Structure 1
Amino acid sequence: MYRFIEEHRHEFRVIKMCEVLGVSKSGYYGWKNRKPSKRTIRHDVLKKHIYQIYIQSQKRYGSPKITQVLRSKGCTVTQRTVSKIMNELGIKSITKKKYKATTNSKHQLPVYPNILNQSFKVSGLGSVWVADITYIYTREGWLYLATVMDLFSRRIIGWSMSSRMTKDLVLSAFRKACTIQEPRKGLIHHSDRGSQYASIEYQRISDIT
């Protein structure tokens, strides 16, 4: 959790991320100011390399192959360690059915045209909102974070988190945004073309605003 906040602190306000992720601000700064041990640093570096190799293999590599790749790059590591870290990350070799933690843009639901491809100016608060979904790894597994950002202020005004990527996730974030900041008449609401955002319920509620 704290590492996610650290990596995104230039994009979002720390206090908002702490609130969304359910951690304290003091806990984050305590973690940030704590000097990590050499063992912790090595473990974190290994995690990054293992996850990178896993993604580059299109999620096909298991611990034996990843261990082999790491050793070819001069990293001294055992397969047992690689297997343990893969379990921590919640990843494993996928040989038959691939799963992508992303929105589905090949659905048959109606979508609105991409207005942001056109030339326009953001006139003020509540005139353009941008919605997005990111996924982060926690000790409890993968979590999905839906956000709504006001493009004029660059502030996150709506958010929601869940272990599943559904229309309710994005609806919750949008409703919170409407509560925190009243949208202007003629609001431009931009999102990707995933099925969550193209759902009838989501388009209906965004049309109301």
Structure 2
Amino acid sequence: MSTYRYIAQRASQAPVRQLCQVLHVAPAAYYAWQRHRQQPRAEPAWQVAVRECFAYHSQRHGTRRLRAEVQAQGHAVGRWRIRRVLKAHGLRAQQPRSFVPRTTDSDPAMRAVPNRLLGQPAPTAPNRVWVGDITYLPRQGGGWLYLAVWLDRCSRKIVGWDVRDTMPEDLVSEALRRALAVRRPPAGLLVHSD
């Protein structure tokens, strides 16, 4: 226990000047310690900047990004100090869950159609085999676009496509209808998609 704390505890039992004299402490030093203890400590500017940046970015930035931003504001601070400040305030960066949209309905009760492309050689002429699939594209403002594409397996060129904000059942069939209208393939065309 420090001498000043001892004096503070015994101040109700004896005069402060007498306690200071016995313990060989200057009364002015004791009173300065007491004023300093009662004043709330100002938080350093870099710590305030760290917490403000963390809140501004919706609690998603980690120590690397926070360090870059706080250093850009003119505060020389490292990742470990930032980590200690975040921990002291009970703050932890939130990691968003990655979103993977479902493009295939895997219903085990549905009977799968056999794959007729297995074991066949690659086509040597265009408009013999078309393969199709659906993919998703992230939008700049958030959300997704769904793209259905039909590809000629011989020429590796896209023969038909359709893109929409949602994924209705006719997304693939509309892309196929467009491909059939433009290409007009001969009889015997093999169309494959999952």
* TM-score, with structure 1 as normaliser: 0.45
Task: Tell which structure's C-alpha radius of gyration is larger.
Answer: 2
Higher relative CO (CA 8 A, sep ≥ 6), structure 1 or 2? 1
